[in-house]
Copies of this chain bind each other. A is one copy, B any other.
Amino acid sequence: MATWNNAVPTRKKMHMLKREALLREAIAAFNQKGFHATSLDDIANSLGVTKAALYHYFSSKHALLYEAFSEALKVGFEAIDKAQEQGATGLEKLQIAIREYLQVTLSEMSRCIIITEEHALEAGDREKIVEQRDRFEAKLRDFVREGIQDGSVVPCDPKLAIFSIFGAVNWVPKWFSDDGEWSNRQLAKGMSELLCRSIASRPPEALARDIGKIRPDIEVGA
């Protein structure tokens, strides 16, 4: 129900904004210090609220971790949809999927790749996440197979290709910093080009010499 001419967020919207802020703060802490070394007290302190207030949004630290993984995988499946819509060849699809996944997960909104902490998930949660992740990886391997079929990808082992390429992608949160010299768009573009070149049948003769100088406002085809 709209009040104040919608000049202020609704209660529902406020709840969502706070929940997102909490999730982002938690993910940042998990990425930096690790899941076990992070306490809900730390997170509450960083947000300037009480620990009790956090329980309105998440029932436990484990629930935060589960949500972070779910978010990352949701972004992954959206990247695959976009790749399927926009890519003409298997290689193009893979490149779009990597670029989209990186760009969104590294954006301030949901930098949620704390995939190194999967051992910290509770058993039931882990099962659900692993099932989704396997499905995500299978889709990516299908892009590689499609590329071998259509000639855009050289003969290769699709399993090794995706393990290698997504290993590099999963590692990014370990070194990427929002306030560093590269933007998330520059990185997403430069890295998807470089990684896809490893299996491309017509590899570009040059890559960006300086990722920081890629014009991130220009969308470049795969």
Contact = CB atoms under 8 A, between A and B. Distances in A.
Contacts of A194: 156, 160-161, 164, 198-199
Interface string A204-218: 111111110000000
A203 interface: yes
Given A34-B36, A37-B36, A206 B154 contact: yes
Interface string A164-208: 111111111011000000000001001100110111110111111
Interface in A1-60: 32-37
Contacts of A35: 34, 36
Interface string A147-167: 000000011110111011111
B159 A167 contact: no
Given A37-B119, A120-B37, A163 B175 contact: yes
A127 interface: no
B168 A164 contact: yes
Contacts of A34: 34-36, 117, 119-120
Contacts of A117: 34
Contacts of A171: 163, 166-168, 170-171
A84 to B, nearest CB: 24
B210 A157 contact: yes
Instruction: Give the top 5 A-B pairs by smallest Cβ distance, nearest first.
Output: A167-B171, A36-B36, A198-B198, A156-B207, A167-B168
Interface of A: 32-37, 116-117, 119-120, 154-157, 159-161, 163-172, 174-175, 187, 190-191, 194-195, 197-201, 203-211
22 contacts: A34-B34, A34-B36, A34-B117, A36-B37, A37-B120, A154-B207, A155-B206, A155-B207, A157-B207, A157-B208, A160-B191, A160-B194, A163-B171, A164-B168, A167-B167, A167-B170, A170-B171, A171-B171, A194-B199, A197-B199, A197-B203, A198-B198
